[in-house]
Amino acid sequence: MAKNGLRNNLFTQVKNTKIFLLILILIIFPFGQLLRFHLPSLPVEIKFQPLELLVFIYCGLWVFAKAKRDCFVRYNTGLAMTVKTLFFPEMLVFFLLAAASLLIKIPTLPLNEFIPAFFYLLRLGNFFVFYLALRDFLQEGKKPWQECLIFVGLGVALLALGQYLFLPDTRFLLKLGWDEHYYRAIGSFLDPAFTGLLLVLAFLTLFFKFLRHETRPWWLWLSGLLMIIALVLTFSRTAYLALFCGLAILLAKGKNLKIYLLILLCFLSLIWLAPKPGGEGVNLKRISSFLAKTENYKEVITVIKDHFWLGVGFNTYRYTQRDLSFVTPIKWQSWETSNAAAGADNSFLFVFATTGIFGFLSFLFLWGKILMISFQKKDKGNGLLLFASAAAVLLSANFSNFLFYPWIIFWLDVLLAVFTAES
């Protein structure tokens, strides 16, 4: 009895620690890139995010607790515990192919290039395991996950609006490896496209809750308004497109065309009313970014043709761009300091170029399964929100490397875990 008491006490402490970690993750989430830090003791420069470290600790605690629990169940019943994995086998296959694409490049990669790529591979695996760990936590009982995501999105919106009002000229960030923006809401993620897509995901969650519940408190209306205003001020056409796509899916069922058209009209009116003091960034007819992305696609396709089967190695694309002289130094940026040099402007082409045809096909299969199963269960629980959010992100991923952005992965992990726990 004493041993069982100690074991139960241990499990309780681990559970409380995991809850604390999740709360901490939700608190720091809106601060985005502002919390990024480097470890000076490492032989190479690697950028860390507190979000990633907290997720890693959470996964470690989950693995420890699950191993202990499994041993206890086997000892007392002779049975092994089972978990619903649903999407994890496909995640594991892609992870192994991505790992293989990197490991076979060891003979040709210097240590200072292999280590950063390896850490990014571990980060990907970390988020895949987090999906399982969070699913396990959500199955223990009903959790206010929608409210948590909405408040996180509200935090993103408030920081974006604060930056737009008090620091509208962020062109000085070019010296730190970021794109230069003028009178655009880039928020704590220092990029209007990524900030915009997170606002879209938050608004879709809020709107899903809005449609499913008869009681709609004032804070829900206010949060939605602030998110939409912040989204408009990003002037991100990709985020706008993602919003229209996600809302169309949420409103497709039933006679909701009038609601969709009303939201569309209000949104377009806000865009028309938004201040446009000058500069290319606030011009929605701009073609400079279109031309830059077109050139980027051509470069990635060139890499794919040369490394069709095995790719250049997961997350070694920065060094491939350097070797092929695809990254031209601009002002204070080089291939080493530019944040954009690490990836491509298309997540799918990025996967093809770095992991080869096999990694690419496994990646497509993973997302195809997510879309198919969530669509099949769109009338149950979280299915429709997962389908709408995944479709919005996948559409956006054709214009930037959204599918490997830690905050986007975390958000999708939550939706996938909720969906799996409900299934």
CB 193 within 8 A of CB 239: yes
pLDDT band at 69 (very low <50, low <70, confident <90, very high): confident
**Per-residue pLDDT at 78 exceeds 50:** no
* Ranges 61-70, 75-84, 253-262, 396-405, most confident: 396-405
Distance of alpha carbon 160 from the chain centroid: 18
**Per-residue pLDDT at 243 exceeds 60:** yes
Of 130, 242, 148, residue with least CA distance to 195 = 242
Question: CA 30, CA 185: separation in Å to the nearest integer?
Answer: 14
Amino acid (1-letter code) at residue 324:
L
**E strand map for 221-281:** none
Which pLDDT score is estimated for 342?
65
Q: What is the mean pLDDT of residues 251-279?
A: 86
Amino acid (1-letter code) at residue 58:
Y
Give me the residue spans of the domains in the chain.
Answer: 1-82, 85-422
Q: What is the mean pLDDT of residues 284-296?
A: 89
Q: Is 422 exposed, middle or buried (0-12, 13-18, 19+ CB in 10 A)?
A: middle
pLDDT band at 308 (very low <50, low <70, confident <90, very high): very high
Coil, strand, or helix at residue 412? helix
Residues 6+ away with beta carbon under 8 Å from 166: none
pLDDT band at 395 (very low <50, low <70, confident <90, very high): very high
Which pLDDT score is estimated for 75?
45
* DSSP code per residue over 48-74: E-HHHHHHHHHHHHHHHHHHHHHHHHH
**Per-residue pLDDT at 79 exceeds 50:** no
**Per-residue pLDDT at 161 exceeds 60:** yes
Q: Is 220 exposed, middle or buried (0-12, 13-18, 19+ CB in 10 A)?
A: middle
Which pLDDT score is estimated for 364?
98
**Per-residue pLDDT at 265 exceeds 50:** yes
Question: CA 367, CA 46: separation in Å to the nearest integer?
Answer: 29
Q: What is the mean pLDDT of residues 93-104?
A: 97
Residues 6+ away with beta carbon under 8 Å from 173: 179, 180, 181, 190
Calculate what percentage of the chain has a pLDDT beyond 90: 68
Dihedral, 379, 385, 388, 390 alpha carbons, nearest 10:
-120
**Per-residue pLDDT at 411 exceeds 90:** yes
Which pLDDT score is estimated for 384?
95
5 versus 68: which is more confidently predicted?
Answer: 68
**Per-residue pLDDT at 331 exceeds 50:** no
**Pairing state of beta strands 37-38 and 47-48?**
antiparallel
Which pLDDT score is estimated for 95?
98
Q: What is the mean pLDDT of residues 391-412?
A: 97
**Residue-wise pLDDT tens digits, 225-238:** 999 999 999 999 99
Which pLDDT score is estimated for 177?
79
**Per-residue pLDDT at 340 exceeds 80:** no
**CB atoms inside a 10 Å sphere around CB 319:** 23
The CA angle 117-360-409, to the nearest 5 degrees, is 60
Q: What is the mean pLDDT of residues 103-111?
A: 93
Q: What is the mean pLDDT of residues 14-39?
A: 93
Q: What is the mean pLDDT of residues 330-346?
A: 62
Q: Is 97 exposed, middle or buried (0-12, 13-18, 19+ CB in 10 A)?
A: buried
Amino acid (1-letter code) at residue 372:
M
**Per-residue pLDDT at 85 exceeds 70:** yes
Q: What is the mean pLDDT of residues 300-322?
A: 94
**Per-residue pLDDT at 31 exceeds 50:** yes
Average pLDDT, the chain: 89
Calculate what percentage of the chain has a pLDDT beyond 70: 89
Which pLDDT score is estimated for 153?
98
Which pLDDT score is estimated for 37?
86
Of 244, 254, 159, 169, residue with least CA distance to 203 = 244
Element (DSSP H or E) covering residue 306: helix 288-306
Which pLDDT score is estimated for 53?
95
**Per-residue pLDDT at 116 exceeds 80:** yes
Of 146, 103, 141, residue with least CA distance to 121 = 103
Question: CA 102, CA 312: separation in Å to the nearest integer?
Answer: 8
The answer, as to whether pTM is greater than 0.85, is yes
**Residue-wise pLDDT tens digits, 175-225:** 887 888 999 999 999 999 999 999 999 999 999 998 887 778 889 999 999
